[in-house]
Chain A
Amino acid sequence: MSKRPYLKFDQIGKSFTRGAASTEVLRDINLTIDEGQYVSIIGHSGCGKSTLLNIVAGLTPVTTGAVLLEDKEVNSPGPERAVVFQNHSLLPWLTVYENVSLAVNKVFSGSKSRSERHDWIMHNLQLVHMVHAKDKRPAEISGGMKQRVGIARALAMEPKILLLDEPFGALDALTRAHLQDSVMDIHMKLGNTMIMITHDVDEAVLLSDRVVMMTNGPAATIGEVLDVKLSRPRRRLELVNNRTYTDARAAVLEFLYARHKAPSIAA
């Protein structure tokens, strides 16, 4: 894995304007992310985390600055920056297989034959252990399974960067832990660059190489970046009493709850 700046946020600022009123959501966001890194962005609700992710995805245009992926400016959405949405966003009228195939057939229509595409769909369903439900519709499977399919669909686009928008937010604690392990495993196997939005401190520290902590809005910016120097694979049980882990966790908690309390708590 090379260590050149792979993804670069250069002075990103974002304001939303409605009529005469303008709200500055993000200001002066600067960050470089190396290829293969797992980066979490954490902050209180309303700090603009999701806006930042949408900017990287190309779904929201920047007001100032730019996102550079391999020195090229990102200004529209594309499959090389696949998104796993918070609420899975599977198309309910398609089966699990068809949801993934919609992505695969679009992205690889020119480069893979029909049977290669089928194999690739099955390979990705295999990766998230969802082959058994490939002919089910999203309404017939559990929330955790839907999110797995969402991840499979994103991975199947063979993205340079996988963007995860609070991917485990809507899940119960046990399902969430299983899915976190799945994502860590996939990250180990494929070495994707991943950016995850979260508001869960444990999740951020457990999964990430770096935790990016955002200050509160309006005009939120990056307050601190914490390197989590834990070797992989990480096992949650072994980490409970690990010094590096508990220190990292304490540092994030300290940032979020002592220095940058949520506005409602501070008031």
Chain B
Amino acid sequence: MSLPLLSGDAPAPAAPRSPAAVIPLRSGKPMSQVLRSKALTIAGAVVPPLIVVILLLLVWELAFSRPGASLPTPIQVWRDAKDLIIDPFFINGSQDIGLGWRVLTSLQRVAFGFGLAAVVGVLVGAIIGQSVWAMRGLDPVFQVLRTVPPLAWLPISLAAFRDSSPSAIFVIFITSIWPIIINTAVGVRNIPQDYRNIAAVLRLNSLEFFWRIMVPSAAPYIFTGLRIGIGLSWLAIVAAEMLTGGVGIGFFIWDAWNSSRLSDIIVALVYIGVVGFLLDRLVAAIGSFVTRGVSAT
């Protein structure tokens, strides 16, 4: 082991060099300069969309400011629904609660339905990806079912469950499961033959193969499916709640429509949009954390 030849491509000089190159750069810069460059980066990301939003609000204000307009202007919305905008978590009575609470109720349903869809979807996708016959049998069925709109499932699930809450969860489940199944199957089919060879040489059993090879290798595909799935479930929950009632954000919109509170609806739309965006980012962030290293082969 003392043969110098053998140390080959050992990066002996590289190891101490990298911290030495980085540390003086950091400590050498004054704190104010670091803060300034950070502030500039943040400003670059925040200012352009802010300008666009202000412009849109302005156009909206001008378009509906004449008397007798069909929709309220932004200023009107602010006056009407100030309590909803300022405090998402107030409780004034069983039906008079902040939109934050309603969103949380909806999110809870999504968590059940989407969580179930994620588990079942990955398992079914793994089977379809592994077995040619399972794919031939199931893929056409799934391709047809996945085009069925979320709300079309609602009557049949109401009939089956005889209760609104499990029906809403089922609608989430059935809406979000298809992209998860299809993407997982593609990911599993794309596992490099090399990894399968290693599993064969090591005689990994199917459970070990699933956890050690299949899930990490297909993770980028799985997370693409999960991201599409979470988007679809958020679309579906609002529609489902409009019909099933209860406390969720979807029902709030329906309720506001029935009592002609247009400003409340507009505030709720913004809530839904922001939460949907955050959900998408959350799944994407988990995905890029879990799959770190996989894509960079």
Which one of A82, A85, A144, A182 contacts B194 once the chains associate, using CB atoms below 8 Å? Answer: A85
A103 to chain B, nearest CB (A): 6
| B203 in the interface (beta carbon within 8 A) | yes
Q: How far is the CB of A159 from chain B (nearest CB, A)?
A: 9
Q: Which residues of B contact A91 (CB under 8 A)?
A: 195, 198, 212-213, 216-217
- Asked whether, in the complex, the Cβ of A77 is within 8 Å of the Cβ of B8, the reply is no
Known A57-B201, A102-B212; contact A92-B10, beta-carbon cutoff 8 A:
no
Chain A residues within 8 Å of B208, by CB: 106
CB proximity of B60 to chain A, nearest CB, Å: 48
User: Which chain B residue shows the least CB distance to A57?
Assistant: B201
Kindly state whether residue B20 has any CB partner on chain A within 8 Å: no
Question: Given A87-B194, A106-B202 in contact, is the A92-B8 Cβ separation under 8 Å?
Answer: no
How far does the Cβ of B296 sit from chain A's closest Cβ, in whole Å? Answer: 4
Q: Assess whether A129 is in contact with B10, with CB atoms less than 8 Å apart.
A: yes
**Is A167 in the interface zone, CB < 8 Å from B?**
no
In the complex, the answer to whether B293 meets A137 with C-beta atoms within 8 Å is yes
Chain A CB within 8 A of B96 CB: no
Q: What is the bound-complex CA distance between A257 and B181, given in angstroms?
A: 53
Say which size band chain A's interface belongs to. Answer: 35 or more
- Whether A132 is near chain B, meaning CB under 8 Å from some CB there, is yes
Given A91-B213, A93-B293, A142-B11, A185 contacting B6 (CB threshold 8 A): yes
Whether B7 sits at the interface, judged by CB under 8 Å, is: yes
Instruction: Say whether B195 contacts A77, CB under 8 Å.
Output: no
Verify if B148 is at the interface (C-beta below 8 Å from A).
Answer: no
Contact with B along A122-141 (1 / 0, CB 8 A): 00001101001100011101
Bound Cα distance from A3 to B196, whole angstroms: 35
Knowing A139-B293, A175-B9, say if A77 contacts B201 (CB, 8 Å): yes
B32, CB-defined interface residue at 8 Å: no
Is there a chain B Cβ closer than 8 Å to A263's Cβ?
A: no
Residues of B within 8 A of A89 (CB): 192, 194-195, 197-198
Residue of A with least CB distance to B199:
A77
* Residue of A57, A126, A139, A182 touching B296 (CB-CB under 8 A): A139
For A97-111 the 0/1 string (1 means CB < 8 A from B) is: 000001100110000
CB-contacts of B1-37 with A (<8 A): 1, 3, 5-12, 15
Say yes or no for A179: interface residue by CB 8 A criterion: yes
Flag if A79 contacts B9 (CB, 8 Å). no
Produce 1/0 per residue, B118-131, CB < 8 A to A. 00000000000000
- A181 in contact (CB, < 8 A): yes
Alpha-carbon gap, A91 to B194, bound state (A): 9
B294 close to A (CB within 8 Å): yes
Assess the A178–B6 pair: CB atoms within 8 A.
Answer: yes
Whether B201 and A78, one on each chain, are in contact in the complex, defined by CB atoms closer than 8 angstroms, is yes
Q: Which of A44-63 contact B (CB under 8 A)?
A: 57-59
Q: A91-B213, A91-B216, A102-B212 are in contact. Are A83 and B201 (CB under 8 A)?
A: yes
Indicate if A197 sits at the interface (CB-CB under 8 A): no
With a CB–CB cut-off of 8 A, which chain B residues contact A126?
1
A180 CB to nearest B CB, Å: 10
Q: A83 near B216 (CB under 8 angstroms)?
A: no
User: B85-101, CB under 8 A of A: which get 1 and which 0?
Assistant: 00000000000000000
Closest to A88 in B: B194
Q: Does B202 contact A102, Cβ atoms closer than 8 Å?
A: yes
Distance from B8 Cβ to chain A, minimum over Cβ atoms (Å): 3
CA A142 to CA B200, docked complex, whole Å: 26
Within the assembled complex, what's the spacing in Å between the Cα atoms of A59 and B197? 7
Asked if A148 CB lies within 8 Å of chain B CBs, one says yes
Taken together as a complex, chains A and B put the C-alpha atoms of A103 and B3 apart, in Å, by 27
On whether the beta carbons of B297 and A132 are closer than 8 Å, the reply is no
> Is B204 part of the binding interface, using a Cβ–Cβ cutoff of 8 Å?
yes
- Asked if B7 and A129 sit within 8 Å, CB to CB, the answer is yes
Shortest beta-carbon distance from A155 to chain B in Å = 13
A 56-88 binary contact with B (CB < 8 Å = 1; else 0): 011100000000000000001111011101010
Which 3 pairs, one residue from A and one from B, show the smallest C-beta to C-beta distance? A178-B8, A89-B194, A144-B9
Pick 25 A–B contacts, CB within 8 A, sort by A: A59-B201, A76-B200, A77-B201, A78-B201, A78-B203, A79-B202, A82-B201, A83-B201, A89-B195, A92-B293, A92-B294, A102-B202, A126-B1, A127-B1, A129-B1, A129-B6, A129-B10, A132-B15, A139-B293, A148-B8, A181-B5, A181-B6, A182-B5, A182-B6, A185-B3
